[in-house]
Amino acid sequence: MASPTRETPAKSRPRQKRGEGQWALGYREPLNPNERSKKDDNPLNARARIENIYARGGFDSIDPGDLRGRFRWFGLYTQRKEGIDGGRTATLEPEELDARYFMMRVRLDGGMLTTQQLAVLAEISQTHARGTADITDRQNIQYHWIRIEDVPTIWQKLENAGMTTMEACGDSPRVILGSPVAGIAADEIIDGTPAIEEIKRRYIGDPQYANLPRKFKTAVSGQADVAHEIHDVAFVGVNHPEHGPGFDVWVGGGLSTNPMIGQRLGAWVPRDEVPDVWEGVISVFRDYGYRRLRSRARIKFLVKDWGAAKFREVLEEKYLKRPLLDGPAPEVPPAPIDHVGVHRQVDGKFYVGAAPVAGRVNGETLLAVAKAAERAGSARVRLTPQQKLVVLDVPESEVPGLETELAELGLHTKPSPWRRSVMACTGLEFCKLAIVETKARALALVTDLEKRLADVQGDLENPVSVHLNGCPNSCARIQTADIGLKGQIVTDADGRQVEGFQVHLGGGLGLDAGFGRKLRGHKVVADELVDYVERVVRAYLDGREPGERFAQW
């Protein structure tokens, strides 16, 4: 034992850097309970237990490790118990917040649906989900009130129609966003659909990619309509001066508490190589991603530390075993693309985009949309990353009739700027993490703003986007909205603790790519939200220079 006098004083001893839990550096032992749970049993094995044990034994038969962890790999979360206010969210144990029902997410890669599939989704909603069926901003359908006893039957119905909940949530490769108008849009550079389908066919449900450090979000689109800047990996259509249409690769974007814009690798990839490159990127993440802390586990932290050049080097040398071709950056669209309205397709038919409020629809509406689309000669519907839906392939003569039918369902093809630009996450109604209510509040906000701001509606060349989150997570992408609203408990004028929002102003994607500023003290009580938004919008319209967008103002 060394003499105390000869020891280096603790103050001047170089501090040993703790590892980040990267598998590639030898950290194979789990460093937190989530990692332990995934190592104990591959989450994909939970399906057999749902089918063979839990669906028969009911809610009380479910192993807690499956209930609060592995079920997510099949799109299942317990939903929030009714009647617990948001102020108590952080004070209760998870089981105290549990209803004995589930939220179920159906992954719809690229938002692609046939009208027959839409009818199946509608039937499941009406039979098993009390009519619920929200369109999420990741092109999924989300049900509520699902009983564990019904899950195998629902899976069977989905799978018979070519749909799945596999890896809809969890530390896995989740739904792949794609352009809702892939293959038919006049301004698309390349159709990303074959790449999306091939990634899904090869890798979704593969145990090799089912234990990632954290969730992994992908976007593939021939045009900039899928929020590619905030994905773990994104492939965006670009014309290479020598090789023609292909994809520009972005990595390391993401929102939540440490939002980051993705970085370009500067590489051009032809469409048939997209699945290989995707596999390389997800493998880098699996092997080098930080598994010690959940809060640092997304790929964005690795990309931030390494930088795009080192990431590309590791990807090429260790995983692809070949260099990628350099390529140009994609063009930035002059305004956000949401596909609402009536647009001519390359084949002369039309696509018709319609806006519900903040993605809130139901089984009855979805069935009616499927029938209306078929009556108009269409067999294809798409969900969008803006919580909208689009009917494809409509002959010109059928467009007016379809627009009328959709409007009768509350799905407007010429919506007000507010109906068009308000988005909201699930919120307090069903989400166990929520602090405030969002969906009903979004509806009230749209209705009130349509009345109060009717006089200036025509002055808004680009709608001012308003996104509502029920908690500090960012399921509704608040940092990329003109007015982003992060749910929290705030103090009202009488000193009471009430539901409210921290405001973020001036975020955007595309031309305005950047995160909204969190203004110190800019908090709004939920009951005064419409007053606040009205004030901000009027101040913008009064104070802007000609042509100045909200994010520039």
Q: Which is nearer to ligand SF4, 523 or 538 (CB)?
A: 523
Q: Which is nearer to ligand SF4, 22 or 172 (CB)?
A: 172
- For residues 414 and 433, give the distance between their C-alpha atoms in angstroms, rounded to a whole number: 34
Q: Does residue 62 interact with ligand SF4 by CB under 6 A?
A: no
Q: Does residue 431 interact with ligand SF4 by CB under 6 A?
A: yes
Q: Which is nearer to ligand SF4, 341 or 470 (CB)?
A: 470
Among 189, 425, 446, 533, binds ligand SF4 (CB under 6 A): 425
DSSP symbol at 329: P
- Find the shortest distance in angstroms from Cβ 124 to ligand SF4: 21
- Find the shortest distance in angstroms from Cβ 316 to ligand SF4: 36
Q: Does residue 233 interact with ligand SF4 by CB under 6 A?
A: no
- Which residues contact residue 524 at a Cβ distance below 8 angstroms, ignoring those fewer than 6 apart? 485, 490, 500, 501, 503, 532
Q: Which of residues 446-475 bind ligand SF4 (CB under 6 A)?
A: 469-471, 473, 475
Among 115, 117, 426, 502, binds ligand SF4 (CB under 6 A): 426
- Find the shortest distance in angstroms from Cβ 168 to ligand SF4: 14
Q: Does residue 422 interact with ligand SF4 by CB under 6 A?
A: no
Backbone angles phi, psi at 117, to 5 degrees: -65, -40
- For residues 328 and 488, give the distance between their C-alpha atoms in angstroms, rounded to a whole number: 42
Half-sphere exposure of residue 286: CA atoms within 13 angstroms, side-chain side: 16
- Find the shortest distance in angstroms from Cβ 426 to ligand SF4: 4
Nearest-CA neighbor of 324 among 285, 400, 255, 273? 273
Question: Integer distance in angstroms from the first to the last C-alpha of the chain?
Answer: 67
- For residues 372 and 406, give the distance between their C-alpha atoms in angstroms, rounded to a whole number: 8
Beta bridge partners of 517: 505
Q: Which of residues 470-509 bind ligand SF4 (CB under 6 A)?
A: 470-471, 473, 475
- For residues 415 and 138, give the distance between their C-alpha atoms in angstroms, rounded to a whole number: 21
Q: Does residue 256 interact with ligand SF4 by CB under 6 A?
A: no
Backbone angles phi, psi at 68, to 5 degrees: -100, 0
Residue type (1 letter), 531: D
Q: Does residue 170 interact with ligand SF4 by CB under 6 A?
A: no
Among 356, 427, 463, 508, binds ligand SF4 (CB under 6 A): 427
- Find the shortest distance in angstroms from Cβ 158 to ligand SF4: 22
Looking at beta carbons, which residue is closest to ligand SF4?
470
Q: Which is nearer to ligand SF4, 195 or 475 (CB)?
A: 475
H or E, element range at 539:
helix 529-543
- For residues 144 and 317, give the distance between their C-alpha atoms in angstroms, rounded to a whole number: 45
Among 267, 434, 449, 485, binds ligand SF4 (CB under 6 A): 434
- Which residues contact residue 313 at a Cβ distance below 8 angstroms, ignoring those fewer than 6 apart? none
Interface contacts to ligand SF4, rule CB under 6 A: 425-427, 431, 433-434, 469-471, 473, 475
